[in-house]
Amino acid sequence: MAPLRKPLQGVWNIVRFNWHFYALSAAGIVLLLGLRAYLPVVADVLLTLILATLVISLGVSCYIYDYSGLYNLSWLGNIPRSGKEQLVNIHAGFDETSVLLQDKFPQAFLSVFDFYDPLKHTEVSIKRARKAYPAFPGTQAVQTDHLPMADHSADKVFALLAAHEVRDEQERQVFFKEINRILQPQGYLVVTEHLRDPANFFVYNIGAFHFHSRATWLRTFTAGGFSITQEIKITPFIHTFILRKHGTTA
C-alpha cells in the first residue's frame, strides 16, 4: 500500500502555497546585500533577522507537518470507537485529513464538509491549495450556520487545523452550536489548532496572529455547549482539544 503522505509534503506545501512570501523575502535579501556597502551594521542585522525567521519557521514546520506524527493520528487512540460510526470531517477548503481518517476508521461512514467561502476566506494560499488537491469524494460545500445532517446523528466530528479560519467570534460560536446539534449525546468533537501563544510567536512571528488564543477557544467551546475532556499537546506548537457536550459523562 502506498503511503498516504509523501516525504516532506508538509513543508513543501507551505512553500508552494505561500511562494509570494518567500519571493518577497528573497527580494529583501538581495536588496540588503546591496546595502551592505553603505549600511553594513543595519544590513547585517536585518539579513540575520530575515534568514533566522525563514530557517526557524521552515525547520519547525517541517518537524510539525512531516516528522511529529501529527498526520498518523495515533494520538486519537484514547477516544473510544465502534466499527460502524458516523464520522464528520470539517475543513476550510484544503483537505489533507479525510483520507487519513478513512484509513484510521476503515469501518466508519465518513461525511466531509467544506465551509470555504471565497468571499470570506480570501487567503491566496487556500486558493492555491484547492487547485493543487482535488476534493475528497463526496465532499459537500456547507455554511458555518448549517450542516446538512439530522440532530444527534454524528458519533465523532473532526475540525483539524480548520476552525481558526472562521475569523468572526460570533460566527464561530454559531458554528460550534451547529456542530453540537448534529453530534449525538455520547459523541466527541476533536479540534486541532495552533494557538496564539509564545511557542508559535517564536516560530511564526506576526503570523501567529492568524491563530486564536486558548482563552478565545474556551469561550467558543463554552458558547457552543461543549466541555473539554482531554487536551493533547502533539508538539509544543500544536494543540488538540477533545470535547463533549456539556453534562456528558465519560
Domain ranges of the chain: 9-67, 74-245
Query: For the chain, what percent of residues have pLDDT higher than 70?
Result: 97
Beta bridge partners of 233: 239
Rounded CA-CA distance 24/90 in Å is 32
pTM of the shown model: 0.92
Please give the distance of CA 21 from its chain centroid, rounded to a whole number.
20
User: What tens digit of pLDDT does each residue of 96-121 get?
Assistant: 999 999 999 999 999 999 999 877 77
111 close to 88: Cβ distance less than 8 angstroms: yes
Please list the residues that pair with 160 across neighbouring strands.
192
DSSP code of residue 36 = T
Q: Residue 188: what are its φ and ψ, rounded to 5°?
A: -130, 140
Does the pLDDT at position 1 exceed 60? no
How many angstroms from the chain centroid is the CA of residue 56? 19
Which pLDDT score, from 0 to 100, does residue 115 have?
95
Q: Is the pLDDT of residue 4 over 90?
A: no
Distance from C-alpha of 238 to C-alpha of 175, rounded to nearest angstrom:
22
pLDDT tens profile 152-164 = 999 999 999 999 9
**Mean pLDDT along residues 208-223:** 97
Mean pLDDT value of segment 217-245 = 97
What does the pLDDT average to over 187-216?
96
- Asked if 142 and 116 touch (Cβ cutoff 8 Å), the reply is no
Beta strands (DSSP E) in 67-200 are 86-91, 109-114, 140-141, 154-160, 183-193
Q: State the average pLDDT over residues 86-94.
A: 96
pLDDT 10s digits, 172-181? 999 999 999 9
Distance (Å, whole) CA 226 – CA 38: 59
Q: Is the pLDDT of residue 125 over 80?
A: yes
Instruction: List Cβ neighbours of 247 (8 Å cut-off, separation of 6 or more).
Output: 227
How far is residue 159's CA from residue 156's CA, in Å, rounded to a whole number? 10
Q: Quick check: 3 pLDDT over 80?
A: no
User: Which residues is 111 bridged to in the sheet?
Assistant: 88
Phi, psi of 115 (to 5 degrees): -95, 15
7-63 pLDDT tens trace:
999 999 999 999 999 999 999 999 999 999 999 999 999 999 999 999 999 999 999
Per-residue pLDDT, 249: 53
Residue 132 has pLDDT above 60, yes or no: yes
Distance in Å from the first CA to the final CA of the chain: 36
The string of pLDDT tens digits covering residues 40-51 is: 999 999 999 999
The predicted pLDDT at position 77 comes to 82
Task: pLDDT band for 248, please (50, 70, 90 cuts).
Answer: low
Q: Which residue has the cell 484509513?
A: 103
Cell of 62: 517541517
How far apart CA 172 and CA 87 sit, in angstroms, is 21
Instruction: Give me the residues paired with residue 154 across strands.
Output: 183
Res 71: pLDDT: 95
Taking domain 74-245, whether its CATH number is 3.40.640.10 is answered by no
Confidence at residue 209, expressed as pLDDT on a 0 to 100 scale? 95
Output the average pLDDT for the chain.
Answer: 93
Identify the residue whose cell numbers are 476566506. Answer: 121
**One-letter amino acid of 184:** Q
